[in-house]
Chain A
């Protein structure tokens, strides 16, 4: 257990529905990252926050995706009007913004869009 918690672990939804995932990072970590991983692939970067500020977003992140970190602690990732291509593992990771650069990953949320 890395100390990064994600909820839910699994989500099954129908195409067109909205879903929201939550990530609780390690408490003293001010950087929080979202990645997406499909079967057989490495994690693909989506976006990251430093405290409550969203500092970078990948071109992969369509306008149906939105992420927030309102108080600089937990974060949510929302996908609107889900599509079957959104089916993937969504990983959250955290780290401090200085010193050691390694990321601590959560166990992920597995999304299946039917």
Chain B
């Protein structure tokens, strides 16, 4: 069946470190992947997305890497800041279906 998972439920880093959040997916037919950030009491906020014809995409302080061979997606946050503390979700869809999300990784940044 289809599933999206994250390798670690929690990640603790020091301010200024780089953070890497991982996600594994099972459906090889997926063509679109996305990362969201969710702060307490708020809805998910879009961070970055990538299509299956790419293996890397960069944004401001964030990079998404896609390895279709092993069905793995990762989010890299450079120079992590306390304001990055939140829950991060990966998701995917296929044409015509809704986004499906994993359980989330809680990122804690200490200063």
Contacts and interface: CB of A to CB of B under 8 A. Distances in A.
A109 to B, nearest CB: 10
B83 interface: no
Given A103-B44, A105-B44, A107-B43, 15 more contacts: A2-B43, A2-B45, A42-B103, A42-B104, A43-B44, A43-B89, A45-B99, A56-B98, A91-B43, A101-B32, A102-B46, A103-B46, A103-B99, A104-B46, A107-B42
B23 to A, nearest CB: 10
A106 B103 contact: no
B1 to A, nearest CB: 12
Interface residues of B, number: 23
Interface in A50-104: 56, 91, 93, 101-104
B111 interface: no
Nearest to B5: A42
B57 to A, nearest CB: 13
Interface in B54-104: 89, 91, 93, 97-104
B34 interface: yes
A45 B100 contact: yes
A25 interface: no
B2 to A, nearest CB: 11
B52 to A, nearest CB: 12
Contacts of A101: 32, 34, 49, 93, 99
B97 A56 contact: yes
Contacts of A40: 9, 103-104
Contacts of A41: 103-104
